[in-house]
Amino acid sequence: DIQMTQSPASVSAFVGDGVTMTCRASQDINNHVVWYQQKPGKAPKSLISGASYLQSGVPSRFSGSGSGTDFTLTISSLQPEDSATYYCQQYNGSPRTFGGGTKVEIK
Amino acid sequence: QMQLVQSGAEVKKPGSSVNISCEASGDTFTYRYLHWLRQAPGQAPEWMGWITPFNGYSHNAQKFQDRVTFTRDTPMTTVYMHLSSLRSDDTAMYFCATEDGSNSFDTWGPGTLVTVSS
């Protein structure tokens, strides 16, 4: 199985700050990554697919980059509603696998 | 706009089985991949497999081997996940989700909590 490793496990920042989190795959997965946002008690919501393509309706402060084994999700100007856990997930191979998540908190 | 409606929470004994349903409302998922995932408390989601309602083809993660079965009803409006030989570590929220053209899980059900306890 392809392992997805996210870092940091958690990050705390002020409203308006930029926040960056990373996801590393255990093997080359091209750009076959989806980023999800999950709030407590809710199902995940897809933000970005194909490593860098913003899903419809997702604010432009979210952006993704990377290919191969290293991927990044950036929130350019953190908003209170961005407090959540973010997961990366690969779809290059089966089984589809998720990273362990990065929890974003507002200071 | 399609919504997915799942059956209610279940409490099961170790060794027993559970059946969870996922029904589409507002649109049809007949020609889409319908995936099942689960999420144990405090853990990341875990992908279990998929079914295509229009022909009933399915594929599950090897981890679940013969314990999990995906089926659908004839009108192809409801899919089911059957998980057998339940263990305590099967305690989790179980989600159904459709896959969109960009390979992401775009529409999710609200989840069904399964608790396995003696």
User: pLDDT tens-digit profile of A2-45?
Assistant: 999 999 999 999 999 999 999 999 999 999 999 999 999 999 99
Contact by Cβ (8 Å): B84, B92: no
| Residues of chain A with a CB closer than 8 angstroms to some CB in chain B | 32, 34, 36, 43-46, 49-50, 53, 55, 87, 89, 91, 94-101
Nearest-by-CA chain B residue for A93:
B61
Q: Compute φ and ψ for B88, nearest 5 degrees.
A: -60, -30
Q: Of B2, B96, B16, which Cα lies nearest the Cα of B49?
A: B96
Which of the residues B2, B59, B99, B105 would you substitute to probe the A interface, choosing the one with the greatest number of A C-beta atoms within 10 Å? Answer: B105
Contacts of B31 (CB under 8 A, 6+ apart): B52, B53, B54
Q: Encode pLDDT of B30-76 as tens digits.
A: 889 999 999 999 999 999 999 998 888 999 999 998 899 999 988 88
Mutation site, A30, A96, A98, interface B, largest B CB count within 10 A: A96
- Residue type at B18? V
Tell me, what's the pLDDT at B29? 83
pLDDT digits (tens, 9 = 90+) for A51-105: 999 999 999 999 999 999 999 999 999 999 999 999 999 999 999 999 999 999 9
Cβ(A72)–Cβ(A34) below 8 Å:
no
The enclosing H or E element of A53 equals strand A53-54
Binary contact (B47, A95; C-beta < 8 A): yes
